[in-house]
């Protein structure tokens, strides 16, 4: 029998937590944020950041509002060590920002780590060691007692070394690395053993950070693990419970959100989900998700394109055009029904109201994205998008039936040309179809006399370049003009509006005209004089009828 490869992968066995409480929780406050862009993000780059790039990204993280920033693994390299020294010696850390650094539980590495922090005002020393069964066996050739002792030894050494530097306000953090793959009761045992060494108090808490070092299961099972720890950890009121979800299954954001419901008060991650393998949880998405639910995240992403540009420059990794909130295309609709709904949504959205524009979870203006890119036209688009662009870019408010008529013109064009049709191209198509259509008849001038509700009109046209005079009378200029033309014309629809204001204002007129028994077609006229615009619109419709051989 064929043995399928999936048999290689035993299913994750979730913790039994039938009385879980997290599904009923609603997140109403943001977590404490820790950016590990300069550590977890950095260690996963093809080319780790230079000091200059780290400094640039550090400045951005401060500007966004991060108050805890993991800046290095100081014992890893001279660059990392020097970067920490530079920040401290140059007094580059704002008073409300705390540096964090990571160390393995190894004597020489811990000593070097504490050395790097000499003179810091406040610092988080972050100790980690892997504790899951496979790591105990494969990496450490050890057992539960062995990895627990490693954690305790590291904690003791950190306590002793930091005690010699009382001028720094020390915050201790412990991560049972590979927590997501560990037996919960053993993770609890190790965390409790470490906190017993550090003796945190409610006034001077330590951080217990529970990483999904590798994301192994659905987010709800991670939330169960977090809630279980939250309920059982010793000295709970003296702990800040933190999570560090990785994104191996693509659900780190959901895992972090559910973990917060389950008791996590702090989240570690990276902008745009940088970090090992598929990355850490994306803090920008997480924060903007809160924002879109009416919760102020405490991080400022209002200049989202600049954030993206700096991160791309520092990491040399591109952000996907569909990345939540920040991608180039995320506030853009090409498809017709989406454009239609967005256009209607904008028309009904008023200042001060709750945001309800369909298909746009947030107002693009909140992240300094203009509305111009919201609707873009290609072969998947409909009349809504086409008319929206013409209105936004050229002030042309097409009546509904003209929208339908013109969108067929655009459809034919985009089917042939392929690709996107931008506003300028749409306007060229529109002009060629309606505005520049001056054969056989072109408007030259007119004179109008109104008396007793009747309009008398003298019009000069050009026919094949030659002047051609007409006279007619009616109950308005269009009626008089139709009479002057002496053709079996019926005006089916008429709309007009101003484009612009003041001295530069022009009028746009739209006329739907039937010639004999033919179907109605539209004509459009634009002129600084409203009657001239109307006459041009009639001629545009007539010329189009005649061109169609009617
Ligand atoms: C999930 C995470 O992201 S954890 C952070 C990972 N980040 C990094 O590793 C980036 C920085 N690291 C480095 O630059 C290097 O690994 C260094 C400088 C820290 C150490 O380098 P080396 O001394 O050459 O050791 P190496 O990286 O090969 O480490 C493996 C050894 O450390 C042990 N080890 C691994 N993690 C830990 C830990 N947290 N605590 C104690 N020992 C550990 C391993 O068991 C192994 O021991 P062995 O040599 O006795 O078999
Ligand atoms: C060091 C720890 C927190 C880590 O990066 C992980 O487990 O992913
Ligand atoms: Mg990590």
Would you list the domain boundaries of the chain? 21-315, 336-434, 441-549
CATH fit for domain 21-315, picks 2.40.50.140, 3.20.20.70, 1.10.10.10, 3.60.15.10: 3.20.20.70
Mutate to test the pocket of ligand 1, among 44, 104, 113 (most ligand atoms within 8 A of CB): 104
Q: Is residue 374 pLDDT above 70, yes or no?
A: yes
Read off the tokens for 310: 């700096």
Read off the tokens for 265: 């008060």
| 47: Cα within 13 Å, side-chain hemisphere | 9
Q: Is residue 4 pLDDT above 80, yes or no?
A: no
Task: Supply the CATH classification number for the domain 336-434.
Answer: 1.10.1220.20
| Phi and psi torsions of 526, nearest 5° | -130, 130
257-279 per-position pLDDT tens digit = 999 999 999 999 999 999 999 99
Q: Is 104 in the pocket of ligand 2 (CB under 6 A)?
A: no
Amino acid 3: pLDDT: 67
pLDDT bucket at 1, cuts 50 / 70 / 90:
low
CATH fit for domain 441-549, picks 3.40.1280.10, 3.40.50.150, 3.30.160.270, 3.30.230.10: 3.30.160.270
What are the strands of the beta sheet with 521-527, ordered from one edge? 489-499, 506-515, 521-527
Task: Provide the whole-model pTM.
Answer: 0.86
Q: Which atom of ligand 2 is nearest to the CA of 175?
A: 3
148-164 average pLDDT score: 98
289 labeled part of a ligand binding site: no
Distance 213 CA to ligand 2 centre (A): 5
Amino acid 161: pLDDT: 98
Question: Rg of the chain's alpha carbons, rounded to an integer?
Answer: 34
Mutate to test the pocket of ligand 2, among 213, 276, 278 (most ligand atoms within 8 A of CB): 213
171-175 average pLDDT score: 99
Read off the tokens for 63: 């500007």
Q: Is residue 527 pLDDT above 60, yes or no?
A: yes
327-340 per-position pLDDT tens digit = 999 999 988 899 88
274 labeled part of a ligand binding site: no
Q: Is 209 in the pocket of ligand 2 (CB under 6 A)?
A: yes
Q: Which atom of ligand 2 is nearest to the CA of 276?
A: 8
246 labeled part of a ligand binding site: yes
292-302 average pLDDT score: 98
Q: Is 175 in the pocket of ligand 2 (CB under 6 A)?
A: yes
- 3-class DSSP string for 182-210: CCHHHHHHHHHHHHHHHCCCCCCCEEEEE
Q: Which secondary-structure segment (H or E) carries 443?
A: strand 441-451
Q: Which atom of ligand 1 is nearest to the CA of 276?
A: 3
42 labeled part of a ligand binding site: no
Q: Is residue 11 pLDDT above 80, yes or no?
A: yes
Amino acid 378: pLDDT: 87
Read off the tokens for 40: 């977890």
432-489 per-position pLDDT tens digit = 999 999 999 999 999 999 998 899 999 999 998 899 999 999 999 999 999 999 999 9
DSSP for 199-257, please give it: ---SSS-EEEEEEESS--S-HHHHHHHHHHHHHH-TTGGGEEEEEEEB-TTS-HHHHHH
Q: Is residue 49 pLDDT above 70, yes or no?
A: yes
| Angle formed at CA 256 by CA 195 and CA 322, multiple of 5 degrees | 145
Q: Is 177 in the pocket of ligand 2 (CB under 6 A)?
A: yes
Mean pLDDT of all residues belonging to the chain: 95
pLDDT bucket at 518, cuts 50 / 70 / 90:
confident
99-133 per-position pLDDT tens digit = 999 999 999 999 999 999 999 999 999 999 999 99
Q: Is 285 in the pocket of ligand 1 (CB under 6 A)?
A: no
Contacts of residue 306, Cβ cutoff 8 Å, sequence gap at least 6 = none
Q: Is residue 2 pLDDT above 70, yes or no?
A: no
Amino acid 370: pLDDT: 79
Amino acid 276: pLDDT: 97
379-409 per-position pLDDT tens digit = 888 898 899 999 999 999 999 999 999 999 9
Among protein residues, the one with the nearest Cα to ligand 2's atom 7 is 213
The pairing of strands 239-245 and 98-104 is unpaired
Amino acid 465: pLDDT: 85
Distance 127 CA to ligand 2 centre (A): 10
Distance in angstroms (rounded) separating the CA atoms of residues 221 and 205: 27
């Amino acid at each position: 029998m064929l043995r399928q490869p999936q048999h290689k992968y035993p299913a994750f066995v979730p913790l039994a937590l039938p009385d879980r409480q997290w599904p009923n929780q609603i997140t109403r406050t943001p977590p404490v944020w820790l950016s590990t862009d300069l550590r977890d993000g950095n260690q996963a780059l093809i080319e780790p950041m230079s000091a200059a790039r780290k400094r640039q990204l550090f400045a951005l993280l401060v500007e966004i509002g991060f108050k805890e920033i993991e800046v290095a693994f100081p014992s890893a390299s001279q660059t990392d060590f020097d970067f920490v020294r530079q920040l401290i010696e140059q007094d580059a850390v704002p008073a409300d920002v705390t540096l964090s650094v990571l160390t393995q539980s190894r004597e020489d590495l811990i000593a070097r780590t504490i050395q790097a922090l000499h003179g810091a005002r406040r610092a988080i020393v972050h100790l980690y060691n892997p504790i899951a069964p496979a790591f105990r066996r494969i990496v450490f050739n050890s057992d539960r007692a062995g990895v627990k002792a490693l954690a305790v030894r590291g904690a003791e050494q950190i306590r002793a070394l930091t005690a010699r530097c009382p001028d720094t306000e020390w915050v201790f953090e412990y991560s049972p690395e590979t927590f997501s793959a560990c037996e919960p009761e053993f993770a609890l045992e190790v965390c409790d053993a470490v906190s017993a060494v550090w003796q945190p108090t409610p006034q001077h808490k330590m951080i217990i950070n529970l990483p999904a070092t590798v994301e192994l299961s659905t987010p709800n099972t991670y939330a169960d693990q977090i809630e279980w720890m939250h309920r059982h950890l010793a000295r709970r009121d003296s702990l800040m419970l933190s999570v560090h979800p990785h994104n191996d299954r693509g659900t780190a954001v959901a895992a972090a959100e559910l973990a917060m419901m389950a008791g996590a008060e702090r989240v570690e991650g990276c902008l745009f989900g940088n970090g090992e393998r598929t990355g850490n949880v994306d803090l920008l998405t997480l924060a903007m998700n809160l924002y879109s639910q009416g919760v102020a995240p405490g991080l400022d992403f209002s200049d989202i394109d600049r954030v993206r540009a700096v991160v791309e420059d520092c990491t040399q990794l591109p952000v996907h055009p569909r990345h939540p909130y920040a991608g180039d295309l995320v506030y853009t609709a090409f498809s017709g029904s989406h454009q239609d709904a967005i256009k209607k949504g904008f028309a009904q959205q008023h200042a001060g109201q709750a945001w309800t524009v369909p298909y746009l979870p947030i107002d693009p203006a909140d992240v300094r994205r203009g509305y111009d890119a919201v609707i873009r036209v290609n072969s998947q688009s409909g009349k809504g998008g086409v008319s929206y662009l013409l209105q936004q870019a050229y002030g042309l408010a097409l009546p509904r039936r003209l929208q339908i008529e013109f969108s067929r013109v655009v459809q034919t064009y985009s089917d042939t040309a392929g690709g996107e049709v931008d506003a300028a191209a749409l306007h060229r198509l529109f002009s060629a179809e309606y505005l520049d259509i001056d054969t056989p008849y072109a408007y030259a001038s007119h004179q109008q006399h109104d008396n007793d509700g009747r309009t008398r009109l003298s019009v000069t046209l050009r026919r094949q370049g030659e002047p051609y005079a007409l006279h007619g009378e009616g109950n308005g200029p269009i009626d008089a003009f139709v009479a002057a033309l002496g053709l079996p014309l019926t005006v089916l629809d008429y709309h007009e509006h101003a484009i612009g204001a003041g001295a530069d204002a022009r009028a746009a007129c739209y006329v739907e005209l039937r010639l004999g028994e033919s179907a109605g077609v539209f004509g459009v006229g634009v002129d600084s004089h409203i009657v001239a615009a109307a006459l041009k619109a009639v001629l545009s419709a007539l010329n189009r009828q005649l061109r169609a051989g009617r």
